[in-house]
Amino acid sequence: MSGAHAATRRAVLAVAAAAALAAAFAPPARGAVPDAAAGASVSDAITPAEQLIFTADHMQGVTPQTELDYSMVRSGEPKRDTDMVRVLVLSPGNTKSDAQVSDRGGAVNLPNDGLPCNPVIIYFLERDIAEMEQLTGGQRRYFQRRLRLALAAGPQISTVTSEIGGKPVAARRIVVQPYLHDPNAERFERYTGKRYTFLLADGVPGHVAMIRTEVPGANGDFAHPVETETLSFQSVVRKLPGKPGAPAAKPQDAPRASR
């Protein structure tokens, strides 16, 4: 792809992604808590944090029939649970947004809306929001909105060195607490201090090194959280094209995110 064509594609992706992101976090449906009650409003501008998480071209350079594997570990009540999330890329750099995501339950359909980010981010957040809805009885759109507000507030992006696969890797970290100052938090007091951490690294295929949520213990004690859920990059696997069910090739020597 020429430099001019690449620049044009990035511009088109940015516009489309901005529209998709806005649609995904549109105002709550009638009967939901309005923004005024939430104590904040959402700007049309995409912040650096939103850009890094949702509109960056994470899959650029990832070739077709490449599978990115992530561990999913949940600790807390009622017990520890583990899963493996797999993202199978079908088009170069996932330019057709046709990557297949699966977990132990099988294929997972995601509302990616053309966002160029790694679909495992959408997987994690959709799962988290569905759990919040189930656990609190709240509305799905409301929890989406709170996360959107937290990222639209322009949280700090820290440059950190993370140990991935036993090697130091430069990464960028974003931390938000969407419900910390939510005037409606009394409805789900247990989750008021819930913290979301995003760790992204250019040196990791798909750029997602780790995503974690933590529900702190008493008095905001994150040293002893009552619940955590962590998605961590594990490996890259080359699949054999054109032969469904064929054994996968040996995993490449890619870094693994430490937990």
- Pairing mode, strands 157-164 and 106-108: unpaired
Distance between CA 28 and CA 47 in Å, rounded?
21
pLDDT in tens, 54-74: 999 999 999 999 999 999 999
Task: Tell me how crowded residue 110 is: count the other CB atoms within 10 A of its CB.
Answer: 18
* Residue 11 pLDDT class (50, 70, 90 cuts): very low
CA angle 236, 198, 57 (to 5 degrees): 60
Sketch the domain layout of the chain as residue ranges. 3-238
Q: Is 184 left (phi over 0), alpha (psi -120 to 50) or beta?
A: alpha
Higher pLDDT, 101 or 33: 101
Mean pLDDT value across residues 128-155: 92
pLDDT in tens, 115-126: 899 999 999 999
Which pLDDT value is given to residue 42? 53
Instruction: Look up the pTM and report it.
Output: 0.79
Higher pLDDT, 145 or 25: 145
Instruction: Concatenate the DSSP letters of all residues of 152-217 into one string.
Output: HT---EEEEEEEETTEEEEEEEEEE-TTTT-TTGGGGGGGTT-EEEEEE-TTSTTSEEEEEEEE-B
pLDDT in tens, 178-233: 999 888 878 888 899 999 999 999 999 999 999 999 999 988 889 889 999 999 99
Task: Tell me how crowded residue 204 is: count the other CB atoms within 10 A of its CB.
Answer: 25
Which pLDDT value is given to residue 15? 46
% of the chain beyond a pLDDT of 90: 56
